[in-house]
Amino acid sequence: MKTPRNITLEETFEPGLKYSLYSNFKKWTDAFLELIDNAVSNRIEGKKSTVEIFYSKKHLRIVNKGGYGMNLKGLQEFLQWGKIKERSSYDIGA
């Protein structure tokens, strides 16, 4: 039996992040809709895709089933907020 390994991911914030966010999203609803759009854009053509949205006063969770998803390296890079990253044609935000 394999022993599960612990994985720690750390978020970082680049200096230009605040300016970038305010220039892209004037209202929180715009940011919310962008998250949903990213999930739809991440779909695999010809494969069924489902986007589930769960929310409460304290939490928001968007689940993308049938999309490309991210491996560990991709997730680590994603959590470097504000960093300019290489993009592929199916990346969110591309």
Average pLDDT over residues 27-50: 84
Query: What is the per-residue pLDDT for 94?
Result: 46
CA distances from 39 to 5, 10, 66, 93 (A): 28, 22, 10, 10
Nearest to 61 by CA among 26, 91, 94, 36: 36
**Which pTM value belongs to this model?**
0.54
Provide the pLDDT confidence category of residue 65 given band limits of 50, 70 and 90.
confident
Number of domains in the chain: 1
Asked whether residue 5 is assigned to any structural domain, the reply reads no
Q: Where are the beta strands (DSSP E) in 48-93?
A: 50-55, 60-65, 80-81
DSSP state of 80: E
Residue 64 structural domain: 12-81
**In a domain? residue 40:** yes
